[in-house]
């Protein structure tokens, strides 16, 4: 549970604690660790996301800072800035007995930002342990508990054998005492042997899960990276990606000639006003496809925003870049958009420029903006080089 919760925190942190991908991340984590019954995200202590979602008995909206049954554990976690294990306790939302593992989130200035939380129902754990023939007692520190005895169903029978062992938990140490129901005193060594075997199996299984969780982190990060660099509508690279590519060019020590163009669809507002925004979106998708088919494999076409696109052509001089832009202009001029019996054409204006490392990134963007302005002002459906 600890490893899984840290994976959730790491993944959310990588996405600046945006909850947009919470369900995707939480689903993968629970698939890898079925001991976890539910994962929660609580910015500033208020639960806003849970997985799996539950229409009834949901914890969404619970303010952990103001729930008396949870205040001690919340305060301990915030004060120590560490994981805390609470439970077993009765959950407020569904009255089920469960363990709660809570990890506080802090920003770079050590300001409290919220919690990520993992919950495991008692029955999920009992199903995996062979305790049906045992009574057992758990003693230790439980922040939200009233007494130090966390769980106890041992019978006061001195003839039964009891074996005790300690377990480290995030906020302290628990003492487990197990009393066998069936065996007499001569079977104490058997019980100890079973416990040692259980520990060995647990360690072996845990190492395997840690490896799987490491691979899960890599998969989740790759998914998040692709999502952060992809325009949702056109599936082209987005503005963040093209800025990333430009940053890499300027970090390079090889001073080559590169070319870059900005493409702006002409009178696109008229398309939206005449045919509707749904048709406008389809025009953007079709235009993206036209550009992708008329550039080289080394070129990158990305959506800059709205109806504007950026074409980055690395290690490309201005003459080669003009040929690529001419190809896009020609193909688009002969293309007819047909949607719902509506048939029309559209043109594009382009601002084009070449640059080297001696030109600042701001200057490069300003040049293509100025070139685009000239194309628009002098008739559209053309490219201008600056």
Active site residues: 307
The C-alpha atoms of residue 367 and residue 372 are separated, in whole angstroms, by: 9
Tell me if 143 sits within 8 A of 72, measured CB to CB.
yes
Helix (H) or strand (E) holding 16: none
Count CA atoms within 13 Å of residue 318 on its CB side. Answer: 11
**Who contacts 2 (Cβ-Cβ below 8 Å, separation ≥6)?**
83, 101, 170
The C-alpha atoms of residue 379 and residue 216 are separated, in whole angstroms, by: 53
The C-alpha atoms of residue 14 and residue 30 are separated, in whole angstroms, by: 19
Count CA atoms within 13 Å of residue 37 on its CB side. Answer: 17
47 C-beta neighbours (distance < 10 Å), count: 20
Tell me if 283 sits within 8 A of 241, measured CB to CB.
no
Cα–Cα separations (whole angstroms), residue 255 to 220, 362, 385:
36, 17, 21
């Amino acid at each position: 549970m600890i490893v899984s919760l840290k994976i959730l925190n790491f993944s959310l942190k990588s996405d600046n604690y945006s909850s947009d991908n919470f369900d995707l991340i939480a689903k993968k984590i629970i698939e890898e660790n079925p001991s976890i019954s539910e994962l929660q995200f609580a910015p500033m202590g208020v639960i806003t996301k849970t997985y799996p979602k539950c229409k009834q008995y949901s914890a969404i909206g619970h303010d952990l800072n103001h729930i008396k049954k949870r205040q001690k554990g919340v305060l301990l976690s915030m004060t120590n800035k560490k994981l805390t294990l609470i439970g077993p306790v009765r959950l407020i939302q569904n009255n089920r007995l469960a363990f709660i593992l809570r990890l506080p989130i802090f920003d770079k200035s050590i300001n409290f930002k919220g919690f990520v939380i993992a919950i495991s129902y008692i029955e999920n754990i009992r199903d995996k342990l062979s305790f049906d023939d045992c009574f057992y007692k758990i003693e230790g520190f439980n922040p939200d508990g009233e007494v130090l005895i966390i769980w106890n169903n041992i019978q006061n029978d001195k003839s039964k054998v009891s074996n005790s062992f300690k377990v480290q938990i995030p906020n302290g140490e628990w003492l487990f005492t197990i009393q066998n129901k069936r065996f007499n005193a001569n079977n104490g060594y058997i019980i100890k042997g079973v416990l040692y075997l259980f520990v060995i199996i647990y360690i072996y299984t845990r190492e395997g899960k840690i490896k799987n969780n490491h691979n899960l982190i890599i998969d989740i990060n790759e998914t998040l990276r692709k999502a952060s660099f992809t325009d949702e509508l056109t599936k082209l690279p987005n503005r963040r990606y093209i800025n990333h590519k430009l940053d890499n060019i300027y970090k390079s020590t090889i001073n080559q000639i590169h070319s870059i163009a900005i493409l702006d669809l002409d009178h696109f507002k008229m398309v939206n006003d005449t045919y509707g925004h749904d048709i406008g979106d389809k025009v953007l998708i079709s235009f993206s496809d036209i550009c992708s088919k008329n550039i080289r494999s080394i070129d990158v076409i990305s959506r800059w925003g709205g109806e504007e696109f950026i074409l980055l052509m690395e290690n490309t001089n201005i003459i080669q870049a003009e040929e690529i832009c001419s190809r896009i202009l020609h193909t688009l001029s002969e293309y007819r958009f047909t949607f719902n019996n509506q048939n029309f054409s559209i043109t594009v204006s382009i601002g084009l420029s070449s640059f080297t490392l001696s030109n600042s990134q701001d200057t490069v963007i300003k040049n293509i903006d100025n070139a685009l302005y000239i194309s628009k002002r002098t008739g559209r459906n053309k490219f201008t080089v600056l």
